[in-house]
Each structure stands twice: as structure tokens, then as C-alpha cells.
Amino acid sequence: MFYKGFFLQNLATSLTLFLIINIFFIKISMAGDLVSVCSNNKNDIKTKALAKFVSDITGKSNPKLCVVGSSENDLNLFNNAKKANRSELNSADIVFVKNLQTNVNVGKITFALDCKSLKYCPNCLGVFFVKNGRTMLVIFEEELKKISLKLPSKYNNYIDSRKYLNCN
Amino acid sequence: MKEINSKRSIAYLLEALTISIIIFGILYSSIPIIQKKVEQEIIKYSTKNVIDAIDNAITSILSSPSEDVLLKLIIEPKARKELRDKLIIFNTDRIKFILILYKDPIRDKIRYIMDVFEGGYDVGTPFTPYSLDSDKNEIDVVRKVSNDGIDTYLKHEDNNIIGITYYHAYVQKGIVKLVVAIDFSFETLKEIENMAFYIKWAILFVILFIGVIFLLVLYSIFRNFLLKQKAFTDSLTGVYNRNYLESIRDMINPKHYVVVMTDIDHFKKVNDSFGHERGDLVLREFAKTIAKNLRKNDLVFRYGGEEFLILLNTPKKNKEVVFNILDRIRKSVEDNVVDGIKVTASFGVFLETNKAKDLEDAIKKADSALYKAKEKGRNRIEFFKEDDDIPNLSIPDIIKIIENEDVVCYYQPVMNVKENKVLYYEALARLKYKGEILPPLPYISLIKGTRAYANFTKLIIKFNIKILKKYKDLKIGINLSSSDFLNEEILKILRDLDDEFVRRIYLEITDAEDIKNYEPFKKNIDGLIEKGYNLVLDDFGKGNTDFVLLTEMNVRYIKIDGLIVKNITRSPDYYNIFKHIATFSKEIGKEPIAEFIENEEILQKVIETGVKYGQGFYFGRPLPIERIYRINE
């Protein structure tokens, strides 16, 4: 009986440890599999529309922004950017994700740059994607409520419930 | 004056040019609007077939016209597929995408029904193209089409896939149910823009062409204006001439002016003594003095010879103000010695022009006042007074005047214009009434055919015999109406006169057209000619001019009517009539006399036709014979 109890206690501890290690490894693997670049200057962003959006959403004239993608090809958003380490990612004002293959949660305002990445980024505030030759923007009202972010009224047109967006 | 005219012309030209530049500017600035309109039409035309086909396709999926298309497409995947199958054929190089959209009325969002070519979008997916430019925000454009039901389009200038999107409202029962966005390729946009560009240049060319034509017309009008101005300006004095007065006569309301007639006193003497060249100089200076003393809105015309018409634009017809203006001119003329020649001027003013029938009437009244100024000794200003002009005389008043022998004659010379010698003086009757001398015309016609009239004629003959007795070298023309030549008492006086008087009397036959009993009239005339009288047929050319009478009567002279003569410088027709009457007269052995020679120009024309004799104001106004002798001395 004692052994049985000891076994179960150890099993629970092991499972907890396994889970902790797993979570740690996921985070580690994100840093390992995914690539990120950062910049301190919004003017580095190639797309003027995105640069303006970054300013409006962060409320900062020179926000720190990072892009996280599954490969280096996905990071081609800046003119001048350098690869970021973990601490730089932590200090970013806004993070864009692209072509994700794994879940990402960096605890920052996150925007997807493609529709399919939304699947791996449940906390994304919105998405920029190209459809019918147009750059579409959808900002999720549920996420806005969560972080209590108030956007300028000109973005009202783009705020909608996430449930309406089908990225299949 | 010429300088003022040319400055005014330049001002008119500048004004016209400014107006044309403004018009051209407006036309030029409207080009973008025209271009936009043209572009709209091209787009509308190019999309019409597609729009019709799409409308038909949408309508065809409905089982009945009352079925709600939006509801059907939202809830029935089969309907969406059917519609997609029908619209997929539009997938060409020109059309990149066809999007069927609708406005979610609950959340006020624009959503997809479907993306026809690509598919893969579920009903309700938000249509949220992001744009920095609020004017080109497609969401607002679609919302507007959905609200207003008016099709529109948007050009995507920073997009190299789609060039232009046409937004078409699909309306059912007056409500916009769907908005169909048709994305045309970038190449299609370029084609449309090229077409619009060529049309814009075509329009610009047409505007330029119209502009050039307009400028040419403007130039031609201005040139015509200058030519007219030249034709309307007196070349000697630089003021307006009589032709200009005639051309604007109908436009002049005499009520707005004070009408003044003025002329240089004894101007004929200036011409005779100093020659025409210096006479012209005096005239020029006179016109300059008048113009200098007038204001911008006043008008001056050379009315004829040395006579000028002034129209003073003075709304308040204050006698004192008008007198001061004219007296200033009078004094300037008096003080201004031109090339050693000193002249004076007289002025006749008609102030109460609101009472005038027309400008002609006002001029007549001013002229009558000028006449009075001359009578009263010249170098003065006389105002016309209605009461003084023509008193209202009754027939008993006229008879009383005749009975009291209150009749005198004024004399006007009939000249040999070639030799500048007096042929005779025409006696013009005047009635004396309350200290005034009145012309007989309005009154004597009242008693025509009566015994009083015959007495009046006898009185005139008697008066003139007295004058002939007094002035031995004088020859006089006496006016007798046709009825006088049938009056035995008058004929007896004439027949009984001594030959000494007879050869100095010229009998002028007036009203020849009234002759009813021709034979005795001719017989009496012939008798008088035989006696030695010179017979003159008066006023030939007006009324029922009778050439048979003219040929049959053995008169020696024919007076060509003044109405013809005074117009010979203005009208070639009058000149020709005058010339033909004069030629005809001479051919039948009668000497023509031109009446109403008012100025040098008329005189020159008369001489040009070979007419030897003439009379008129140019040679002298009617005056008492004593004054004529005094002046001639």
C-alpha cells in the first residue's frame, strides 16, 4: 500500500515535471525553430500602410517591432533589421507573425501577416492578409476587449468578430 | 477728343480681352471635370454588358421575382454555386475578380457572399481592404453604393493587379440587396485612361479652336468698332459727327439731357475774310474749347458747318448750373484769339427736355433759342421758353393782327453760290404779337382760303413795296400761294405796279400742288411773266411733285426742297435725287435753287452738281432788312 502510494506520488511528480519540461521545451523550441528580427524604427517597415498602422496601434512614434516566422524568408519585412534574441523579443511593442507552423504566444500585441498563422496564434489581435489583390485588415473585437485597447475611430471599419473570418 | 476716343477704345479692347481670358480660363479649368465625365461614360459603356449579364445571372437564380436574393444566397449553398457557375465565364484577362458583397445591417459591416473566381470564402467573411487614404476606402465606397443604390467606380493607383473596380448595386424592390464589385485589370484601366486622354486633348483642341475663333471675332468686332468710330468722328474737329447722332438717335432719351445748340457768330465772315484754312482752325479751337469744358458723360456733335449740338448729361436740370457751364465756354471762346482771329459764340438751350416729344423736337427748340440769341445780338446764352415760342393764337387774334397791319418781313439772301453774290432776298413774313415776332406758319394756315388770307398777302406785298422804295438796289422774293394767283385783287396790285418795282420782284409760288384750276392759273402766271416778274416755283421735290406742271410753267427758277438738300451729304439717294432734279430743271430751261444750305459741306456738294443758286443758314438767317444793311456796311 505504501509502495502504491509512493508510486502514485512519484508518478504525479513525474507527470508535473514532464509537463513543466515540455512547456519549457516548447518555449525553447520556439526560440530554436522560429526566427525573429526586430527593429527600433517603424520607418524600416517596407509597407507604408503597415508602418502607419504600427504607430496608431502602439501609440508610439518609434515603437520596437519584431517579426517572427518559420524561416528567414518570412522576415523580409524590414529594410534594416537584425536578428533578435529572446530578450529583444520580450521588449518589443508589437510582434508580427508569419507562416507559423507551431503555436506562438509571446505575451505582446501580436498581429498575423497571413491568414493561416491565425491557427497557431490564438491571441493574435488581428491579421493582415492579401486577398483579391487587396491588403485586408481584420482586428478582432474579442482580443481588443481583452487587452482594453482603444483604437482611433478610423479603424472601426476593420473591427469584427473573429468568428466571421474563415481562413480555410 | 480723339485722344479720349483712342484711350476708350484701348480700354474696351482690354476689357474684352480680360473677359475672353476669364472665359478661356473657365473652359480650361473645366477640362478635368470633362475628362472625369468622359472617363465615367467610357467606364459605364465598357461595363454595361458585364453588368447586364451579372444582373441577369443573379435574377435567374430566383424562383420568383419576390424572392429575397440576399436571404437566398446566404442560406442556400446551391444557389451560390449556381450563381458562381454562371459568372465564372467572366474570368478573363480584363476582369480579375468579381466579388458579391452585402451590407450586414446588424453590425453595419460589409461582407462577402462570394468571391466568384477564387472561391473559398464563406458567406459573411468581412470585406476589409485596408487603405491609408480615406477617400479611397473601399469599405466606405461599397457602403455608399449599398445606401444610395448609385453605381460608382474607384481607380486603384497603387495596385498593379487591379486597375479599376466598378461597384454595381443590385436592387430588388427599391432596396439594394447586393453590391457586385467587378475588378478590372490594370491594363484595362490604362486603356480607359488612354482613351480619356485622347478625348481630353480633342476637347482641348476644340476649346482652343473656339478660343481662336472667338479672338478673331473679337478682333473683327474691335476693328469694325474702330472703323465705325472713325466714320462717326468729324475729321476736322474730332467731335462726333451728324452720322453718329443719326445712328444713336433712337438710343438717346432727350429726357436725360439738356439740349444745347451753339454756333460761331458770323463764321461766314471768318471764312470769307481769312480763308477756309484759318476758318477750319477756328472751328477746331471752338470744338476743343467746348470739349474741354464738358464732363465725361456729355456729348458733342458737329451738327453742321459751324453749328454744334451739345447734350449735357445733367439729371438735375438746374438753369443756373447749365448757364454757368455754357458761360464758361462762351467766355473761353471770347478770350481765345485763334491765329489773330477773335470770335464769339451764341448758345440756345432747351432745358425742359422731359416735355420734348423726341430728340428732334428738343433740338428744334434749342435751335429756336439759338435763333433768339442771334436776334438779341449774339455772344449770349438763351433758354427756350415754351410760352414764348408759340403763343396760342385764335383766328380772331390772327385777323386782328392782319387788320392792325402788325406784319413785318425778315429777309434771307438767295445767293449766286459761284460768285458769292446775292440774287435777291426772300421776304419771310412775321407776325407781331405782344412785343414778340412770331413765324406765320402755324397761324396763317388757319385762315387759308379766307378773305383774311388774301388781305394778309396784300399786306405783305404792300410792306415789300415800301421796302423796295426805301432800298433802291434791293431785289425781293415774295411768297404767294397758288390761290393768290387766282385772286383778282392781288393780281391787280401786281399788274398795276411800276416796272421799276416789277423787275426787282421775284414771285415765289408756294403750294403749287394745291392748284385745281390749272388753265386760269397758268394764264395768270404767263401774264405776270410778260409784265416782267421773275417767277420762282418753291419747294419742288416734296408732296405730289408735278413734273408736267414744272415743264408747262414758264417760271425762271425752281427751288429744290430743303428736305432733299439738307440730306445730300448724308445719303447718296438724296444726292442723286437732287442732282437729277437740278439737271432736269436746267434741261427745260429753269435755274435750280438749293434751299437749306446749312453748312460748307452741303454747299460744296451743291456746287459739285453745277447748281448756281442757293440759300440757307450758311449764308444768313432771316433778319430785318435794316440789320442786313447794317451788317453789310
Q: Are residues A1 and A71 in the same domain?
A: no
**pLDDT above 90: residue B558:** yes
**Residues A154, B134: C-beta atoms closer than 8 Å:** yes
Taking 60 as the threshold, does the pLDDT of residue B630 lie above it?
A: yes
Burial status of residue B131 (CB atoms within 10 A of its CB: 0-12, 13-18, 19 or more) = buried
Based on the domain organization, do A27 and A71 belong to the same domain? no
Question: How many angstroms separate the CA of residue A23 from the nearest CA in chain B?
Answer: 35
Do residues A64 and A84 both lie within one domain? yes
In what helix (H) or strand (E) does residue B83 lie, and over which residues does it extend?
helix B77-87
Residues A16 and A71 grouped into a single domain: no
Q: Are strands B591-594 and B613-615 parallel, antiparallel or unpaired?
A: parallel
Q: Which of B97, B116, B130, B157 should we substitute to test contact with A (largest number of A Cβ atoms within 10 Å)?
A: B130
Identify the closest residue of chain A to B181 by CA–CA distance: A132
Q: In what order do the strands lie in the sheet with A65-69?
A: A82-83, A35-39, A65-69, A94-98, A109-112, A126-131, A134-140, A159-160
Most confidently modeled range among B207-221, B383-397, B404-418: B404-418
Ordered by where they begin, the domains of chain B are 31-195 (3.30.450.20), 236-389 (3.30.70.270), 390-633 (3.20.20.450)
Helix (H, G, I), strand (E, B) or coil at B415: strand
pLDDT, one tens digit per residue, over B501-554 is: 999 999 999 877 677 778 888 899 999 999 999 999 988 887 666 777 777 788
What confidence tens digit (pLDDT) does each residue in B474-504 have? 999 999 988 888 889 999 999 999 998 999 9
Q: What is the spatial distance between Cα B591 and Cα B557, in angstroms, rounded to a whole number?
A: 5
Work out the percent of chain B whose per-residue pLDDT is above 90.
43
Instruction: Give residue-wise pLDDT tens across range B284-306.
Output: 999 999 999 998 889 999 988 88
Cβ–Cβ contact A157 with B under 8 A: yes
CB-closest option in A52, A135, A165 to B126:
A165
Both A21 and A40 in a single domain?
no
Question: What local confidence, expressed as pLDDT, does residue B205 receive?
Answer: 85
Confidence of residue B388 (pLDDT cuts 50, 70, 90): low
Cβ of A160 within 8 Å of Cβ of B109? The answer is yes
Shortest Cα distance, chain A CAs vs residue B120, angstroms: 7
Same domain, A129 and A47: yes
Q: Which of B111, B120, B128 sits opposite A168 (nearest CB)?
A: B120
B162/A133 CB distance under 8 A: yes
Q: Are strands B307-312 and B95-104 parallel, antiparallel or unpaired?
A: unpaired
Of the candidates B126, B139, B161, the beta carbon closest to that of A133 is on B161
CB B594 within 8 A of CB B608: no
Closest CA in chain B for residue A134: B129
pLDDT at A33: 63
Residues B326 and B369: beta-carbon distance below 8 Å:
no
B119 at A interface, C-beta within 8 A:
no
Per-residue model confidence (pLDDT) at position B480: 92
Give the whole-angstrom CA distance, residue B311 versus residue B7. 21
Assess A158–B contact: CB distance below 8 Å, yes or no.
yes
CB contact under 8 A, A135 and B130: yes
Q: Which residues in chain A come in under a pLDDT of 50?
A: 1-2, 17-32
The reply to whether A57 and A137 lie within a common domain is yes
Per-residue pLDDT tens digits for A66-114? 888 877 776 777 777 777 777 788 888 889 998 888 888 888 889 998 9
Q: From chain A, pick out residues whose CB is under 8 angstroms from the CB of B137.
A: 157
pLDDT for residue A26: 39
Separation of alpha carbons B408 and A118, rounded Å: 129
Among positive and negative, which fits the CA dihedral B446, B452, B454, B456?
Answer: negative
Chosen for mutation from A48, A132, A141 (greatest number of chain B CBs closer than 10 Å) is A132
Q: Are strands B557-560 and B591-594 parallel, antiparallel or unpaired?
A: parallel
Cα–Cα dist B407/B395, whole Å:
15
More confident residue, B113 or B30: B113
**Which string of DSSP letters, residue by residue, matches B334-373?**
HH--BTTB---EEEEEE--GGG-SSHHHHHHHHHHHHHHH
Do A15 and A80 share a structural domain? Answer: no
Domain boundaries, position A140: 34-164
Handedness of CA B111, B114, B117, B121 (dihedral sign): positive
Q: Please classify residue B336 by burial: count the beta carbons closer than 10 Å to its beta carbon, then call 0-12 exposed, 13-18 middle and 19+ buried.
A: middle
- Mean pLDDT computed over every residue of chain B: 87
Helix (H, G, I), strand (E, B) or coil at B160: coil
DSSP assignment letter at B250: G
Task: Write the residue in B107, B132, B140 that is nearest to A49 by C-beta.
Answer: B132
> Chain B contacts of A162, Cβ < 8 Å?
none
Alpha helix stretches (DSSP H) within A70-140: 86-90
DSSP single-letter state for residue A41:
-
- Interchain CB contact of A153 with B (< 8 Å): no
Residue of B48, B158, B66, B342 lying closest to A49 (CA atoms): B158
Kindly state whether residues A74 and A152 are assigned to the same domain.
yes
Give B140 to chain A, closest Cα distance, Å.
8
Same domain for A25 and A42?
no
For A27-163, strand residue ranges (E) read 35-39, 65-69, 82-83, 94-98, 109-112, 126-131, 134-140, 159-160
Check residues B508 and B444 and name the one with the higher pLDDT: B508
Q: How confident is the model at residue B2 (pLDDT cuts 50, 70, 90)?
A: very low
Specify the range with the lowest mean pLDDT, choosing from B17-26, B168-177, B292-301. B17-26
Residue of B nearest to A165 (CA): B125
All residues of chain A having their beta carbon less than 8 Å from the beta carbon of residue B107 are 160
A67: nearest Cα among A25, A32, A35: A35
User: How many structural domains is chain A composed of?
Assistant: 2
- The secondary structure of residue B233, as a DSSP letter, is B
The residue of chain B with its CA nearest to that of A164 is B125
Q: Which of B96, B124, B129 lies at the smallest CB-CB distance from A135?
A: B129
Q: Which residue's entry shows cell 392782319?
A: B402
Percentage of chain B with pLDDT > 70?
96
For residue B167, the distance in angstroms to the closest alpha carbon of chain A comes to: 15
Question: Which string of DSSP letters, residue by residue, matches B170-210?
Answer: EEETTEEEEEEEEEEEHHHHHHHHHHHHHHHHHHHHHHHHH
Given an 8 Å threshold on Cβ–Cβ distance, is B126 in contact with A133?
no
Alpha carbon A156 to its chain's center:
22
**Distance (Å, rounded) from C-alpha B440 to C-alpha B398?**
10
pLDDT reported for residue A18? 47
A145 touches chain B (CB under 8 A): no
Q: Are residues A42 and A29 in the same domain?
A: no
Question: B114 and B74 in contact (C-beta within 8 Å)?
Answer: no
- Give the span between the Cα atoms of B346 and B426, in whole angstroms: 24
Contacts of A159 (CB under 8 A, 6+ apart): A139, A140, A141, A144, A151
Based on the fold, state whether residues A79 and A123 are members of the same structural domain: yes
**In this structure, what DSSP letter does residue A137 have?**
E
Q: Please answer whether residues B55 and B221 qualify as being in contact, where contact means their C-beta atoms are separated by less than 8 angstroms.
A: no
Q: How far is CA A35 from CA A24, A99, A126, B463, in A?
A: 18, 11, 21, 141
Closest chain A residue to B97 measured between Cα atoms? A132
- Which one, of B380, B241, B232, B382, lies nearest residue B308 by Cα? B241
Which comes out higher in pLDDT, residue A32 or B270? Answer: B270
Return the residue of A nearest to B162 by Cα: A133
Decide if B125 and A164 are in contact by the 8 Å CB cutoff: yes
Cβ–Cβ contact A155 with B under 8 A: no
Integer Cα distance of A117 and A67 in angstroms: 13
